[in-house]
């Protein structure tokens, strides 16, 4: 009596049963291919890590419904490259202050950042960079876009950044919203990458 089975097999048990039956070379080859493709996902060999991650720093203020200030940014890594606050190719121009999507500031309260008045809401942050001179923080009203190209037409303003040279390089771009030590609703926005660190004061308006 001839056993009739579906081919290709629908599961491994059926496939192993088929191995016990006489079959042509073509059917054996087809079975081997079926077993291989069902046991090893096709995408497994293509997986690789992204060059940059995503990070968020958040500061919570006091209150009945505590307001927050946060910065969400793409986090590039040096990975053996020379970084002087930014990569060499980003110096001397406006830099997205991160990687991939634009860096976003969100605040539930009105702020003063450096010399800028920043009403509560969402904004894009960028940086006016220099290889040897001073940097400026840029606040832009356009949000949700890719980090480049930069659109200056929706800019709220620019304010000076204070910088210092680090003795120990920072591997990954890192941003902080730091509260003041006296307990007031103020502090610093600070970021560092490679051998340089930058900061600007903030306070609730």
Cα 198–chain centre separation: 19
- 63-75 pLDDT, tens per residue? 778 999 999 999 9
Select from 154, 157, 164 the least CA-distant residue to 137: 157
pTM of the predicted structure, to 2 decimals: 0.77
pLDDT for residue 41 = 55
Domain chopping of the chain, boundaries:
12-46, 52-204
Select from 181, 179, 177, 202 the least CA-distant residue to 190: 177
The whole-angstrom separation of Cα 140 and Cα 155 is: 4
Average pLDDT over residues 30-53: 63
Give DSSP secondary structure letters for 37-96: HHHS-TTGGG----SEEEEEEEEE--SSS--EEEEEEEEEB-TT--BBSSBGGGTTSEE-
Residue 29 pLDDT > 80, yes or no?
no
- 146-174 pLDDT, tens per residue? 999 999 999 999 999 999 999 999 999 99
């Amino acid at each position: 009596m001839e056993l009739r089975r579906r081919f290709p097999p629908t599961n491994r048990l059926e496939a192993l049963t088929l191995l016990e039956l006489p079959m042509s070379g073509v059917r054996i080859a087809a079975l081997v291919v079926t077993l291989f493709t069902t046991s090893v996902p096709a995408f497994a060999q293509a997986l690789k890590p992204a060059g940059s991650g995503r990070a968020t720093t958040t500061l919570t203020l006091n209150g009945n419904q505590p307001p927050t200030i946060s910065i969400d940014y793409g986090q590039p890594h040096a990975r053996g490259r020379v970084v002087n606050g930014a990569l060499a190719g980003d110096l001397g121009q406006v830099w997205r202050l991160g990687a991939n999507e634009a860096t976003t500031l969100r605040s539930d309260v009105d702020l003063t950042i450096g010399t800028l008045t920043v009403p509560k809401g969402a904004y894009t942050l960028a940086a006016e960079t220099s290889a040897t001179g001073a940097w400026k923080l840029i606040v832009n009203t356009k949000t949700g876009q890719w980090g480049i190209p930069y659109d200056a037409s929706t800019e709220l303003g620019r304010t000076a950044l204070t910088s210092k040279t680090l003795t120990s390089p920072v591997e990954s771009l890192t941003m902080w919203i730091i509260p003041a030590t006296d307990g007031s609703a103020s502090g610093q926005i600070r970021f560092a990458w490679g051998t340089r660190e930058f900061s600007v004061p903030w306070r609730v308006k």
